[in-house]
Chain A
Amino acid sequence: MTSNPPPSGTGGMALGRTVLPIAMLSPAVLVTVAIVFLPMIQTAWMSLHDYILFRPKSFDFVGLKNFVAALHDEVFWISLRHTAIWIFLTVPSQMLLGLAAALLLNQEFPWRGLARALIIVPWALPSVVIALMWVWIYDSNYGVLNDFMLRFGLISRSIPWLADPATALYAIILTLTWQGFPFFAVMILAGLQSIPRSYYEAAAIDGASTWRQFWHITLPGISGVLVTAVLLRTIWVANSIDVIFVMTGGGPGYATYTLPLYAFIKARTNLDFGYGSALAVLFTLMLIGLVVVYLRRVGKAVQS
């Protein structure tokens, strides 16, 4: 290691104070501008054009035509409805399951450390692996789910979970719930451990029931963590395309189309980048809207 030069004079220090932070920040800022913000603007720009990739010469400005087309597109509305079902079923199920897991793992038992480490596994797996695993579980001929349910008499014959339009979306929602609940469990567990034990001791002396302790101590204690976790998960769940793409590719028919998936498929298989971009922009605006509403309502309630 080289020896450091002696400290510079006060003039150099002042200069260093303004130049150094700029020098240290600019690589990260420039790179994000180049690979995130410019592409984002380009997507917005493309959405205003007729742009089909295999016709590279034609890049005609069409204004809001793509957006108007989307509003008249039946598949757009189907995808939007699925996206709403997808978010409003998956995130709460993940949260409730995660809360139950966290409350259990917060109890005293000998193998607690091991259980806490193992519960995280679904979160670490690649989406593709998760998707494959569950396609195998749902398999209509040899899948373990059908086998299990037949054996216990819950169903009378095998159900092709992913091939049946009525069940496909819900089958994928179960998969996603499975993937995401450990995240909630870990976050909530951290929140639980920040609540001082003395609160519970005081409440117990006052004769508060377990339920009242949960309602008046535990829930307020983890509310901050819950708000953050729900926010992050909503964004991730809304954006996740890979699990559906591998499991059903959107099918059967349009049964498992969500908005981002529709945008991706439009661009990838039809190479219609103009329309695909318009769908992506619309979806992003809606997601931002959802997040703003959520933070306004819930974020404020927690802080006050």
Chain B
Amino acid sequence: MIIRKRSLARRLLTVDLPVVAILLFALGPYAWMFLTSVTEKGRLFTQGPSLSGATMENYVRLFKTVGFWNNLVDSFIIAGGTVVIGLTLSVTAAYAFSRFNFPAKRGLLLQFLVINMFPVVLLILPLFIFMRQLGLIDTHLALIIANSTVAIPFSVWMMVSYMNGIPRSLDDAAMTDGCTRLGALWRVVMPLCLPGIIATGIYIFITSWNEYLYALTLGGRNVRPITVAIQTLIGEYEVEWGLLTAGGIVGAMPATILFLIVQKRLISGLTQGAVKG
């Protein structure tokens, strides 16, 4: 099927058309949401969403009257904080896992793997009680800590595989040249696995940005990240689909853009491998 060169018409029918169909399925709902968000309120229920006469009215209202800006800031603080904690703890831990041998290594590594499996419901109740005792309910810190339950195990796992890909001989060379262990980590290993660190960081950012249950349970009044804010729009404004979908588009934007950036790196790595293979 590779050797034979197919005719253009056949390719269009067997490849391009099905790909278009799948992309329509994948992007259709998103496009529909966007269309709804730019449709005028009166028009929406009479003629349905349409591009003609597109208006930014819903977006303006979102920021002017609903105070969406504060929610965006909350989300940025929480997701950014989780990235910082997740990366600092996991990069050092991953270096220890990847470069040293010690008795409990397998068990500890397994521990980080298994944590990925725990349901959120198992952790959400005690975390709520814990935060209440510490007086942390409705603070950014509470949500950063809660999101770390997901972020740390995941990023340890990712970073170990990235660091294992960097030859040990490079550390040794750096240390013969007078670097300490930590110097070798800082000057040689870190720069080399920077793409991995960035990808992991972005992934943590996206998952924390998109997180909803912790945000609902541990935040809510003062600290209200975007996901909770979007949801509360339903109750406050009698199913105003224009406003809601505008909120959805804005809330999904940062994560989507970041994801497309990482995706590019992922694809280029994959295609390079395919060409070489």
Report which A residues bind B (CB closer than 8 A). Answer: 4-8, 16-18, 20-22, 24-25, 27-29, 31-32, 35-36, 38-40, 42-43, 46, 97, 100-101, 104-105, 107-109, 113, 115-129, 132-134, 136-137, 139, 142, 144, 147, 178, 181-182, 186, 189-190, 193-194, 196-197, 200-201, 204, 210, 213, 235, 238-239, 241-242, 245-246, 260, 263-264, 267-268, 273, 276-277, 279-281, 283-284, 287-288, 291
Partner of A125, one of B92, B102, B129, B210: B210
Cβ–Cβ contact B2 & A201, under 8 A: yes
**Interface hit among B50-58, B59-67, B191-199, B261-269:** B261-269
The CA of A42 and the CA of B111, in the complex, are separated in Å by: 18
Partner of B251, one of A104, A113, A126, A204: A126
List the A side residues contacting B92 at CB < 8 Å.
Answer: 24-25, 27-28
Q: A129-B230, A129-B248, A277-B125 are in contact. List 10 more A-B contacts (CB 8 A).
A: A16-B181, A29-B111, A35-B149, A101-B22, A122-B26, A124-B255, A126-B209, A210-B1, A241-B120, A283-B121
Given A28-B92, A115-B23, A264-B121, A133 and B32 contact (CB-CB distance below 8 Å): yes
Chain B's closest residue to A136 (CB) is B241
Cβ–Cβ contact B15 & A109, under 8 A: yes
Residue B200 interfacial (CB < 8 Å): no
**How large, as a class, is the contact surface on chain B?**
35 or more
A-B contact count (CB 8 A): 267
**A281, chain B: closest CB distance, angstroms:** 7
Q: Which 9 A-B pairs give the minimum distances between C-beta atoms?
A: A124-B259, A39-B126, A28-B93, A126-B210, A42-B126, A21-B100, A24-B96, A21-B96, A129-B248
List the B side residues contacting A126 at CB < 8 Å.
Answer: 209-210, 212, 226-227, 230, 251-252, 255
The CA of A220 and the CA of B123, in the complex, are separated in Å by: 38
Cβ–Cβ contact A20 & B252, under 8 A: no
